[in-house]
Structure 1
Amino acid sequence: MSSSERIPFPFKIIPLEDEDQKKIAKDFVGNPTGLASCNHWGFKLSATVTEQELEDLYNHPLDPRDVWVVTPPKCGTTWTQEMVWLIANDLDYEGAKTTHHARQSHLPFSLNNPRLLDTCKVVYVARNPKDACVSFFHHMRLIRLHDFLGDLELFMDYFIKGQVVEAPFIEHMIEAWNLRHHPNLCFLFYEDMKKDLRAQIRKVSKFLGKDYSEEQVDKLAEHLHIDNFKKNPWVNADHMKDGKIMHTDRGSFIRKGKTGDWKNHFTPEMNEKFDKWMAEKMKGTDLTFVQELEKQD
Structure 2
Amino acid sequence: MQDLTNRFPFDIRDVEGTDNKELSKYFLGAGKFNIQVGPKKYLLMSDYKHDAENIYNMPLRHDDIFLLTFPRSGTTWTQELVWLLVSDLDHSTAAKVPLSFPMLMHNNIVEHLNKEHANNPDNLKTLQLMRTPGSEQVAKMPSPRFIRTHLPLSLLPPTLLDSTKVVYVARDPRDVAVSFYHLSREFKSYNFNGGFKTYWSLFVRDLVYWSPFFEHLKEAWRMRHHPNMLFLFYEELLQDLPATVQRVANFLGKQYRADQISELCTYLKFENFKKNPSVRFGNLKEYGMMAPKGEFIRKGKSGGWRNYFDEDMTREAQCWIDNNLQDTDMKFPTMI
Whether these two folds match at TM > 0.5 is yes
Write the mapping of 1:112-123 to structure 2, written as runs, cut at 5 A: 112-123=156-167
* Residue from 248, 257, 261 that aligns with 1:217: 261
**Per-residue deviation, 1:34:** 4.7
CA 118–7 in structure 1, closer or farther in 2 if over 3 Å, else same: farther
> Which amino acid in the other structure matches residue 95 of structure 1?
T
Indicate yes or no: 2:58 matched with 1:14.
no
> Which amino acid in the other structure matches residue 9 of structure 2?
P
CA distance in 2, matches of 1:216, 1:32: 50
**CA deviation profile, 1:106-131 (whole Å, cap 9, x unmatched):** 00000011111111111110111110
**Per-residue deviation, 1:16:** 2.5
Other-structure match for 1:64? 62
> Which amino acid in the other structure matches residue 58 of structure 2?
H
CA distance in 1, matches of 2:180, 2:232: 19
Aligned residues: 286
CA 275–268 in structure 1, closer or farther in 2 if over 3 Å, else same: same
Indicate yes or no: 2:305 matched with 1:262.
yes
**1:37 and 1:44 in contact (8 A); partners too:** yes
**1:11 and 1:38 in contact (8 A); partners too:** yes
> Which amino acid in the other structure matches residue 317 of structure 2?
F
Indicate yes or no: 2:319 matched with 1:276.
yes
SS at 1:248 equivalent: coil
* Residue from 161, 167, 172 that aligns with 2:216: 172
**CA deviation profile, 1:54-74 (whole Å, cap 9, x unmatched):** 111111221111111111100
SS at 1:122 equivalent: strand
**Per-residue deviation, 1:13:** 0.9
**Per-residue deviation, 1:291:** 2.9
Paired-residue identity, %: 40
CA distance in 2, matches of 1:283, 1:62: 35
Other-structure match for 1:76? 74
**1:180 and 1:187 in contact (8 A); partners too:** yes
**Per-residue deviation, 1:278:** 1.4
> Which amino acid in the other structure matches residue 168 of structure 2?
Y
**CA deviation profile, 1:198-222 (whole Å, cap 9, x unmatched):** 1111001011111111111111111
Write the mapping of 1:90-169 to structure 2, written as runs, cut at 5 A: 90-96=88-94, 97-99=96-98, 102-169=146-213
Other-structure match for 1:29? 28
> Which amino acid in the other structure matches residue 203 of structure 1?
R
The answer for unaligned runs of 5 or more in structure 2 is 100-144
CA 292–262 in structure 1, closer or farther in 2 if over 3 Å, else same: farther
**1:260 and 1:292 in contact (8 A); partners too:** no
> Which amino acid in the other structure matches residue 284 of structure 1?
D
Asked which structure has the greater RCO (Cα within 8 Å, sep 6+), the reply is 2
**1:45 and 1:165 in contact (8 A); partners too:** yes
> Which amino acid in the other structure matches residue 70 of structure 2?
P
**Per-residue deviation, 1:244:** 0.3
The answer for unaligned runs of 5 or more in structure 1 is 1-5
CA 209–7 in structure 1, closer or farther in 2 if over 3 Å, else same: farther
**CA deviation profile, 1:72-116 (whole Å, cap 9, x unmatched):** 100000000000000011111122221367210100000011111
**Per-residue deviation, 1:48:** 5.1
**1:7 and 1:59 in contact (8 A); partners too:** no
CA distance in 1, matches of 2:97, 2:204: 37
Query: How large is the Cα RMSD of the aligned pairs?
Result: 1.7
> Which amino acid in the other structure matches residue 219 of structure 2?
E
CA distance in 2, matches of 1:168, 1:222: 35
CA distance in 1, matches of 2:69, 2:195: 25
Indicate yes or no: 2:247 matched with 1:203.
yes
CA distance in 1, matches of 2:97, 2:14: 38
SS at 2:62 equivalent: coil
CA distance in 1, matches of 2:86, 2:47: 36
**CA deviation profile, 1:239-286 (whole Å, cap 9, x unmatched):** 22226010013x311001100000111111111111111111112100
CA distance in 2, matches of 1:229, 1:209: 24
SS at 1:164 equivalent: coil
**Per-residue deviation, 1:38:** 0.6
TM-score by length of 2: 0.81
**2:98 and 2:277 in contact (8 A); partners too:** no
**Per-residue deviation, 1:17:** 2.9
**CA deviation profile, 1:159-208 (whole Å, cap 9, x unmatched):** 00101111111111111000001000111110000000111110010111
TM-score by length of 1: 0.92
**1:12 and 1:38 in contact (8 A); partners too:** yes
SS at 1:277 equivalent: helix
